[in-house]
Amino acid sequence: MRLFGQSIIAAALFGGAFIGLAAKADTAVERGLKVVREHCTRCHVVPGINPYGGIGSTPSFSAMKWLDDWAYRFEIFYILPPHPSLVRIEGVSEPRSDALPAFSKEIILTLEDVDDILAFVKTLKTPE
C-alpha cells in the first residue's frame, strides 16, 4: 500500500514536470508568430493573423514569398526601409538618431527574434 502511494506521488511529480516542460518549450515558429503578431501586423498583412488588416501600401508576408530572396530580406529587414526608423536590434543597431522621425513606440528585438520570425515566415504558404 505504501509503495502504491509513493508511485502515485512519483507519477504526479513526473507528470507535472513533463507538463511543465511541454508548456515552457515554445518552438521558434511559435515565438516568431508572437513577435510578428505583436510588431509586424500593424503594417503587414500576415495570413492566419490579420488577413484583412495591415496598411495598403505594405507588402503582405505571403506575397513576399514570391521573391527568390525572401528569406534573405527577412534576415536583414531591420536595415531595409522603412524599418531602420522603427526597429532596433539589441546589440546590433545604433541607438536611434534624433534625425529620424519619432514613432510612438520603437520596436526592440533581439537577433533570436529575427531568427524566430524567419522560422515562422517559412511556414507560410506562397499564395496561389
**Residue closer to ligand HEC, measured from CB, 29 or 43:** 43
- Residue 40 touching ligand HEC (CB under 6 A): yes
Minimum distance of ligand HEC from residue 95's CB (angstroms): 18
Cα separations (Å) of 34 from 13, 27, 78? 30, 11, 17
Using the contact rule CB under 6 A, the part of the chain among 4-12, 45-53, 58-66, 92-100 near ligand HEC is: 58-66
Using the contact rule CB under 6 A, the part of the chain among 3-11, 14-22, 71-79, 89-97 near ligand HEC is: 71-79
Q: Which of 59, 65, 89, 93 binds ligand HEC (CB under 6 A)?
A: 59
- Residue 110 touching ligand HEC (CB under 6 A): no
Cis, bond preceding 81 (omega within 30 deg of 0):
no
Residue 65: name the closest of 121, 103, 9 by CA. Answer: 121
> Any idea what the Cα angle at residue 110 is, between residues 108 and 116, rounded to 5°?
115
Contact 58, 46 (CB under 8 A): no
Contact 114, 31 (CB under 8 A): no
Using the contact rule CB under 6 A, the part of the chain among 3-11, 19-27, 45-53, 81-89 near ligand HEC is: 81-89
Q: How far apart are CA 78 and CA 84, in angstroms?
A: 6
Q: Give the footprint of ligand HEC on this chain (CB under 6 A).
A: 39-40, 42-44, 57-59, 64, 73-74, 77, 80-83, 86, 107, 117
